[in-house]
Structure 1
């Protein structure tokens, strides 16, 4: 007869991988919710099946900061927001649900060995990279080209969808390798881990998403410098940073006019950023054409900063705070994000809300770092890299909401469960087979 324990171990690994794999795919919300419901029911059915306690004393300050942030958002939605009902509904969907998703991921991942839970989510993220490579190979064989402009280069969504997934995967693998080569405990054998890192860096190159490349280069530089303190040969990883940057510069011609386009976006009085009227299209200081992406991001950021100065307590929680600010000032409907998650959050929850958010993230990174330094825990360092990389990407892109925030929260829950518990709580309950016999 098949033992219950191995069967449930396989179930939890498959469930973790399935949720991570489905999360970013458009038009799969019903399937995602079904998977989460199945996981919730399985957790409730195995309440005494956790292998590890979820007590993490080093993360307690971050937990209290997160509670304070949530309390501020609730009070703000009721007492400050011009439309309390809308703000509370946004708070439920874009904040409370990701927190519940993180909690569910933690309770589920605590039911299997840490290395198995980590490997399951890594495998799902890596599957997306392989899917993208396979898609591009099929396009090349079928049409003779990978893409026409930016179309067709990815199997679903947009390039920034896959860039987000690549960023998550890079942060996790870099954190694990850095820990393993700094005296900590790793989750993978060396060769598969380095192959995985090579694949995700290749994905960054073929995706050609500038903000993703910037974050990847910074994370890789930090990891290289830290590992070089212990083994000098790892300073050679900086060569990959140079190669990554050089390849991006060579393949993405937008870099050449970046500075002037940003300057035009921030300083030009043109309303091209709002109307898209080609007659209002500005030029750079040298008279060359602007890069639309850089120009628009700078112009939107400028408008967002002005709106924050005018309303430092925010307009009510929601991902469309920038759109509401633009509508109130110019009467133009339809805009949503400023393309900076930090600015969007400040516009929605006010400067106190942004300060609490960054405090929570900083304390979480500090707790993960201390977890690594005190216990040699790779999950703690992976937690640091994941939060740091996501926060930096949210500064450059409006990614602090939607499926990205939900998947980020899910991965955080898995990492928290994978961390070494407080002394004396390594196993919350006897192993299932012992309970059956006893």
Structure 2
């Protein structure tokens, strides 16, 4: 690998590392520009993105339509045009830039197996550094006096750190799948080192204690389990296959219920009793007053789980804002808070659901365009996945499952989470097309020679 490639990898590794670290906005912007210039030049030297654009035309049209709709809402519908335009510039345009950089990276490494391998391994290594810090922090918490608290790693909080852990699990699960099904190594790791990293990731996800992250991780496991059964279906009779699928569904759905109710030591009945209380936002006003001394009581006399109660109340109020403003009030990270302020004269923040925030800000058309981007991209992934396997396609599918599930449960369509996701989408989407060509020509990307 020549000096230019090493410099390029250092730039992309630095950007990927600092993205989730707080108070690094200026550094991120500098690295975004530097990577755009460097990988833009490399991609131009290799013929640009022209070969990938036609196949990805449907998701790209969805993004173009969504961007146009953002500006239409900002200029003609939103009562706060200035705020909306600022949010589009600081949030959405940067995310599109990250998407472009990811696509340029994949184009730059095209037909260079060693460079491709190096970029994938580098991103994987950066994620390992982040989760290793989480694990060390967790050990320190256990040894220090006092109660154990969820650890944030190098990020602003355990939920932000968990986004990285789940992305790392995406890499690990696809690698495990390829080693088990196709007997191919994508990442240059021995089985022992791979198992060690898998254990570190398991410790990290436990230390972060993020309920929603566990749910999306289980969804990734369910999807990959289905793919594994599909690849092994010829070796199983129909009765055995049905039994295995049923067992998988029970285990995963049971696990989702378990992690949903476990964090506050509540049981399923208390969860069910909380739903109508949280939904009745006109009678129970704690969601608005945010006074911890007046949390509603359950029928058994216990106080509601604050996190669950607030999420249900915010969901109800968010849906009412969408009903009242079906074309949106303007794109922004705190569209929910702006909607509450206009409605009640008080309110701030987000709804803790990125998809709901999107629907509040951009209305039903904006939410449908965003979901259309996911659906059209998943359709391309499905078509690109081959009988012999496509690493980048399967990784992209897990990323879509993880981020798609997370955006329903958390406010992730914002800041570095959105940028990092879009970068990975751009990179894996273009990489899966170039990898497909390599497979068709009998030269699949591999690291085991």
TM-score band by shorter chain is 0.7 to 0.9
Asked if residue 85 in structure 1 is aligned to residue 98 in structure 2, the reply is no
> What residue number does 1:15 align with?
11
Q: Supply the distance in 1 between the matched residues of 2:13 and 2:351 (Cα, whole angstroms).
A: 32
Aligned CA RMSD, in angstroms, stands at 3.2
Alignment of 1:333-348 (within 5 A): 333=347, 335-348=348-361
1:388 to partner: Cα distance: 1.9
> What residue number does 1:203 align with?
204
SS at match of 1:212: helix
Decide which of 121, 124, 135 is 2:123's aligned counterpart. 121
Post-superposition Cα deviations, 1:19-62, rounded to whole Å, max 9, x if no partner, equal: 11110011111221222222233235546544985633432211
Alignment of 1:51-62 (within 5 A): 55-56=51-52, 57-62=54-59
Alignment of 1:320-335 (within 5 A): 320-333=334-347, 335=348
Unaligned residue ranges in structure 2 (runs of 5+):
110-114, 440-449
Asked if residue 29 in structure 1 is aligned to residue 18 in structure 2, the reply is no
1:260 to partner: Cα distance: 2.6
- Asked if structure 1 preserves the Cα contact closer than 8 Å seen for 2:59 and 2:373, the reply is yes
Post-superposition Cα deviations, 1:376-395, rounded to whole Å, max 9, x if no partner, equal: 32101111110121011010
> What residue number does 2:91 align with?
94
Q: Supply the distance in 2 between the matched residues of 1:62 and 1:72 (Cα, whole angstroms).
A: 15
Alignment of 1:169-318 (within 5 A): 169-178=168-177, 181-183=180-182, 187-188=186-187, 191=191, 192-231=193-232, 248=259, 252-256=263-267, 257-267=270-280, 269-278=283-292, 280-318=294-332
Decide which of 362, 369, 379 is 1:356's aligned counterpart. 369
Q: Supply the distance in 2 between the matched residues of 1:424 and 1:221 (Cα, whole angstroms).
A: 28
Unaligned residue ranges in structure 1 (runs of 5+):
427-438
- Asked if structure 2 preserves the Cα contact closer than 8 Å seen for 1:344 and 1:398, the reply is yes
Distance 1:424 1:274, change over 3 A: closer
- Asked if structure 2 preserves the Cα contact closer than 8 Å seen for 1:9 and 1:111, the reply is no
Distance 1:415 1:423, change over 3 A: closer
> What residue number does 1:104 align with?
101
- Asked if structure 1 preserves the Cα contact closer than 8 Å seen for 2:392 and 2:432, the reply is yes
Q: Supply the distance in 1 between the matched residues of 2:360 and 2:152 (Cα, whole angstroms).
A: 34
1:309 to partner: Cα distance: 0.9
1:248 to partner: Cα distance: 4.6
TM score, norm. by length of structure 2: 0.83
- Asked if structure 2 preserves the Cα contact closer than 8 Å seen for 1:185 and 1:377, the reply is no
Distance 1:284 1:77, change over 3 A: same
Q: Supply the distance in 2 between the matched residues of 1:40 and 1:287 (Cα, whole angstroms).
A: 58
- Asked if structure 1 preserves the Cα contact closer than 8 Å seen for 2:211 and 2:260, the reply is no
Q: Supply the distance in 1 between the matched residues of 2:48 and 2:80 (Cα, whole angstroms).
A: 43
Q: Supply the distance in 2 between the matched residues of 1:185 and 1:263 (Cα, whole angstroms).
A: 51
1:262 to partner: Cα distance: 3.3
Q: Supply the distance in 2 between the matched residues of 1:179 and 1:60 (Cα, whole angstroms).
A: 29
Q: Supply the distance in 2 between the matched residues of 1:367 and 1:180 (Cα, whole angstroms).
A: 24
Q: Which has the higher contact order (CA 8 A, sep 6+)?
A: 1
State the aligned residue count: 418
SS at match of 1:229: helix
Distance 1:369 1:118, change over 3 A: farther
Post-superposition Cα deviations, 1:306-357, rounded to whole Å, max 9, x if no partner, equal: 1111111111111111101111111114x12011111100000010110111
Q: Supply the distance in 2 between the matched residues of 1:402 and 1:155 (Cα, whole angstroms).
A: 16
Alignment of 1:121-140 (within 5 A): 121-140=123-142
Post-superposition Cα deviations, 1:243-299, rounded to whole Å, max 9, x if no partner, equal: 976985796334424333333211352110111234542112332211100000111
- Asked if structure 1 preserves the Cα contact closer than 8 Å seen for 2:73 and 2:329, the reply is no
Decide which of 417, 428, 438 is 1:404's aligned counterpart. 417
Q: Supply the distance in 2 between the matched residues of 1:352 and 1:374 (Cα, whole angstroms).
A: 37
TM score, norm. by length of structure 1: 0.85
Distance 1:374 1:259, change over 3 A: same
Q: Supply the distance in 1 between the matched residues of 2:154 and 2:122 (Cα, whole angstroms).
A: 22
Asked if residue 389 in structure 1 is aligned to residue 382 in structure 2, the reply is no
- Asked if structure 2 preserves the Cα contact closer than 8 Å seen for 1:22 and 1:32, the reply is yes
Q: Supply the distance in 2 between the matched residues of 1:275 and 1:93 (Cα, whole angstroms).
A: 30
Q: Supply the distance in 2 between the matched residues of 1:216 and 1:108 (Cα, whole angstroms).
A: 27
- Asked if structure 1 preserves the Cα contact closer than 8 Å seen for 2:43 and 2:105, the reply is no
1:107 to partner: Cα distance: 1.2
Distance 1:242 1:355, change over 3 A: closer
Q: Supply the distance in 2 between the matched residues of 1:54 and 1:129 (Cα, whole angstroms).
A: 37
